[in-house]
Structure 1
């Protein structure tokens, strides 16, 4: 075990020493009014490698994004690995390299972790649990409760790519589709938005449950209605086609690199312009508005001019999607 940890993990992550805890210091913590942001998540995606990423990349991106959407500046991550007996070391090396590359891109450090091995058949290759710590500057306070009527709803790119990519990669349905997961870190995008639109009310990353679930959660928390436009939704033809074949709604498909933002109307164009200058936000569009009526209800104006309710996901979510 010691050899495995040294050769596969610490040789790549380069923690400061081999103590039982990470000892951390950052100038941002000394700023009066600064707050710590802390999040944790587990990842059991199947397959562990998929078009556009792997379980390591999604672990780093998912944790970084959970910090970023609250206005936090991600700084440090921990990573714990549950390994199935017999898992290939070459696979572990690819996963760890992917994590290190994504952490460097996001500007965070993986500073502590753990590794356990379970018997053959007691896990599926590898499970990863990450926790993240960041700092929220004193002037930032992004909350769903701040969303108001008239705010513009913005997304940073196409919807449903991750869920569709995982479905296609599993090969259970004999579907052939050239779809790549949208898995990506969103910290730099959030910083660009906050700088350009300091009145940003709230942000969420649309992971499990998709954009529809995020919109319903925000509508309920803020006591507002939200109306989106079907014709404004950014969808790839391949994702739309897969959903039509399988009877799925792309609004409920998981994403791993998609933000839903709520911005005051007078700052919406500034936010969109700033987002489009970043790699993660070049396809940003406004998809709807917040309305004062029907508190907690999300509706969609269809391409035919009618309206339908966009409810919370009813039924089972796709298993092991992240």
Structure 2
């Protein structure tokens, strides 16, 4: 059951006992911003709260208030009364096999969300989980959205909207950004830390990855690959490949960009990005993943060749379907 903002706000306001906040593994800006934002907000609300991730936080988020309070653990052994899970609706996506909490709340915005929690709110049309979280926080107590809460929330909105450049950016998104800036946020602090702190190793990795650029389905799909050995050769961190998929996506004539990342032997993380015509969320769902219409992904096991063959068949069908739909709309 999907609950309303008011229902979730009233629920969180009255939470008692030990509260855990977590998000998906390999956390991105929206995941970190929303979970850390809630952690800092709940502390101001006088709650007993702890934040735990499966994976470490990328170094370029180290400017966020409260980042040092994030615990990174292989498993959660401590018992909690409540868990708030942000930016993901499936337990397996947190990276934990089990979360020992009596009750759970999911706050998410993915169109493929299938919440398992006792209480959930999923709004696929909203720009980010951070934007949704902000709206719920305002219903609880807007005075508590101080700088340590506002900065993570603003950061998540910036990253998940592509610096307000994606079509998930609405007039409301800009209004919320303005409200957060009025609370003392300096936009350049976010821009400088997230986008202008690149190590030379990142560019060495980019060089290796771009050499793998290839095309399929009549050049409508462009794909790149990051092999584990590239990280060793370049000295780069895995998170420094963030944004690489935008290069193949930007090519004229390309409808979908694909980024294959080797996590382990015969284990791959695959990211999909569309220019809008093709719904890659449906493709990712059929491959065992999910996400948004224009940005989604999945993880899978098998050889790269096997994965490509299966994925490209799904993408070919999706591209054909999108073309038929476009033709039907013509006068």
State whether TM-score is above 0.5.
no
| TM-score, with length taken from structure 1 | 0.24
Q: Which has the higher contact order (CA 8 A, sep 6+)?
A: 1
What TM-score does the superposition give when structure 2 sets the normalisation length? 0.23
